[in-house]
Chain A
């Protein structure tokens, strides 16, 4: 992570490109290592790693439909990954994307159900805005507790996840439950409140385009705006930022707000694009996987996108693998976490070697 200088020398640009290339190579090495460990675990299970991984790859990328499913799964992961990356760039850990996702999703479903007569063109943006506002408010709560009371956001955001999820569970069994009253879920949304499908015959919806747009916008915000510059300075060195006259409090609050808004959109995407209603188990941990998506993507928006697609492929292919070879799909959770541990280990090894040479 380097701060871009006002004037960049050509040699610095080349060096930055070389650094970027090294990062990509080391990420690929980490993925390879994690898959190798996974292969050992598949052997321990008593299955053939080649067969299992073959099924996994097939399930993730083997056909247009599986590719569409992977891209579908990458949408919420891209949003939670961006959410966590933004906070991280500003020096804050938002481990609360899961709760922000749940509350944002519930609020957007509520709006969708309350305003049934409206046309899509108004209803869909209104629902998205609701998810963003609610996600942002839940997130900034942790930001305020940090700034005002010194409460470590690592703990508060995790605790707020539990609180949010229990709150949603209550709502879905109480005031917001469907009239039939069997399952913890809301009524189905009207057709006007749903995303149109992007490709006929698959579940891929236009949210994937919004995810791409969010990646580009986040990139621009981070690297081509004054706000992004200030955010990165605050993240790298808050004291220096303060000395430079940057309003650290305002920047931190804005980072939490934006982070929560993005997490809220992740939930909204599942509501309008996949479930078409709010359900109790909306997210299989998108908020937590988003953390490692952000880390593998080096908190770089395009890196986040690539990591989201990779992890989405692992998750989608994991189900195929389980069906084909009996190897539990939780194996992919291990592989995902290992990728990150190997990436961290790799970077640290480099500094060790560099230090060894310097001495």
Chain B
């Protein structure tokens, strides 16, 4: 069979486009988690942050009629959650896991309450028209890569540009070195004049901005609507993606695309009715996450201070 004909088949193109569409929200959250974890903070709150970004993004876009304002709204919401997480984990040295879980549960309640307050409890779900696909001239005709990367909504391009941007920040800039120092040896970083608490707060806010963007992508680019608890565990999956991508932006991109592919595959399987009960197909991304953790958890070295609160007065 001619591979080029296969790759330009509309079914294949649709599959590839779906792969990216499903990968981007998890990728953005994972990228956010990367900043937090490199600075030594385990951000379990990604799930709730995404959910708040999805809701606020949708509400702002719906009210203003402007998708980009919605995107900014979702990111701001995420940043606010990042600040709350920073207040607890950095300022108060609370248990990072406990705070993250509490925030996630809180956001489930807050978003569903606010959604009912703003849009009522009717059966007609309010909608916005999501970002339309924009074909990048010439590039969109490349087999495989074209539909994957160059026939997407505008927000996908923004997200993809964030990968090299994040890579430059963590690998080529002084702030990236400072973040690594804070995550590996906070006491030493502090003696070098780096503010551990400042860097961690900054990283949690960046983490919130990115996860909020990921959430806004779900409501404004992938679907055009908001549903209760629509993140459905993606914030937790992002933590596994992060591990698979070895806390490196390019790795995160590759890992997220792998997951997007699995997700697109199971959706396609549902539509085609391949004889497997759909519940087993829906399970696939979650199952894959567990398999990734089994295979990679011990192969990736964590930042030495990951999960540990830093108390300046106790620094040697």
Binding site for B on A (CB under 8 A): 41, 44-45, 93, 95, 145, 149-152, 154-156, 158-160, 162-163, 166-167, 169-170, 173-174, 288, 291-292, 295, 328, 330-338, 340-341, 344-345, 347-349, 351-352, 355, 359
Contact = CB atoms under 8 A, between A and B. Distances in A.
Given A149-B297, A150-B297, A163-B283, A341 B277 contact: no
Given A93-B97, A151-B297, A333 B105 contact: yes
B278 to A, nearest CB: 8
Interface of A, helix, strand, loop or mixed by DSSP: helix
B101 interface: yes
B293 A151 contact: yes
Contacts of B287: 159, 163
B277 A174 contact: yes
B290 interface: yes
A290 to B, nearest CB: 11
Interface string B231-274: 01100110110000000000000000000000000000000000
Interface centre among A95, A328, A332, A359 (most CB of B within 10 A): A328
Contacts of B103: 337, 341
B112 A344 contact: no
A345 B89 CA distance: 10
Given A152-B293, A155-B236, A334-B106, A345 B92 contact: yes
A169 B277 CA distance: 10
A176 to B, nearest CB: 13
Given A166-B282, A359-B313, A151 B97 contact: no
B109 A333 contact: yes
Nearest to B116: A328
Contact of B101 (A95, A159, A167, A349): A95
Interface of B: 44, 88, 92-95, 97-99, 101-103, 105-106, 108-110, 112-113, 116-117, 121, 232-233, 236-237, 239-240, 277, 279-280, 282-283, 286-287, 289-290, 293-295, 297-298, 311, 313
A150 B298 contact: yes
Given A160-B290, A347-B94, 8 more contacts: A93-B97, A149-B298, A151-B290, A167-B279, A170-B279, A292-B105, A344-B95, A348-B94
Nearest to B290: A159
Contacts of B240: 155, 159
Nearest to B289: A159
Contacts of B236: 154-155, 158-159
B231 to A, nearest CB: 12
Interface centre among B109, B239, B295 (most CB of A within 10 A): B109
Given A145-B293, A169-B279, A345 B88 contact: yes
B112 A149 contact: no
A236 B41 CA distance: 20
A35 to B, nearest CB: 14
Contacts of A344: 88, 92, 94-95, 98-99, 102
A174 B280 CA distance: 12
Given A338-B106, A345-B88, A330 B293 contact: no
